[in-house]
């Protein structure tokens, strides 16, 4: 956690006029900043409240707080599934997402977003539609093609055909 966040929380707990300056301790390696005893004691009393940081505190940066998505082309489906399960992303789903592909240079003016969403749609077509034919369409010819592809003959009710 950033030392500035800890200092700010300690100032709120102790009061603005108290001295909570940090000092660097140098040995062979540079160690994290150390708080003085008064600030540390006060912070430990509020430990439970401080450690349960909200998403807003964790993503205080405006760019991270928006719907900015970085996707790896090799695992774009895994990234899309991860995003669909993220409540922070879902809460802002009505805002347009701004996509960037990891390892590629480019700004999203709409083209990268269309590319990402079309890749997801193409994957859905390959997985959920057999031979490129949609299962749910209303024309009789299409129902006939679908039933032939799925291996059963035309019946008036698709649900009854699947139950047999």
pLDDT at 125 over 60: yes
User: How far does CA 67 lie from the centroid of its chain?
Assistant: 8
Question: Which of 52-56, 69-73, 85-89 reaches the highest mean pLDDT?
Answer: 69-73
Q: With beta carbons less than 8 A apart as the criterion, state whether 40 and 50 touch.
A: no
Q: What is the pTM of this model?
A: 0.41
- Phi, psi (deg, nearest 5) at residue 122: -60, -40
Chain CA centroid to CA 81, Å: 9
pLDDT above 50: residue 123? yes
Reply yes or no on whether the pLDDT at 68 is more than 50.
yes
Q: Cα(58)–Cα(65) distance, rounded to whole angstroms? A: 9
In angstroms, the CA 40 to CA 43 distance is 5
Region 27-50 average pLDDT: 58
Which band of pLDDT confidence, cut at 50, 70 and 90, is reported for residue 17? low
Handedness of CA 129, 133, 137, 138 (dihedral sign): negative
Task: Quote the CA–CA distance of 52 and 83 in Å, as a whole number.
Answer: 22
Could you tell me if 50 and 39 are in contact, meaning their C-beta atoms sit under 8 angstroms apart? no
Q: Which helix (H) or strand (E) holds 49?
A: helix 47-51
All domains in the chain, ordered by first residue:
3-53 (no CATH), 61-128 (3.90.1750.10), 133-163 (no CATH)
């Amino acid at each position: 956690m950033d030392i500035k966040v800890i200092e700010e929380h300690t100032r709120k707990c102790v009061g603005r006029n108290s001295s909570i300056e940090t000092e660097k301790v140098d040995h062979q390696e540079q160690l994290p900043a150390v708080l003085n005893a008064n600030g540390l004691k006060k912070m430990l009393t509020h430990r439970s409240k401080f450690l349960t940081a909200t998403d807003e505190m964790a993503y205080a940066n405006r760019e991270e707080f928006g719907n900015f998505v970085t996707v790896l082309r090799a695992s774009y489906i895994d990234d899309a599934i991860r995003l669909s399960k993220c409540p922070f992303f879902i809460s802002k789903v009505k805002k347009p997402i701004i996509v960037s592909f990891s390892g590629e240079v480019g700004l999203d003016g709409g083209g990268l977003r269309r590319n990402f969403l079309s890749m997801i749609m193409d994957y859905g077509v390959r997985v959920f539609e057999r031979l490129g034919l949609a299962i749910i369409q209303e024309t009789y010819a299409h129902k006939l093609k679908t039933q032939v592809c799925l291996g059963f003959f035309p019946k008036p009710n698709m649900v009854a055909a699947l139950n047999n």
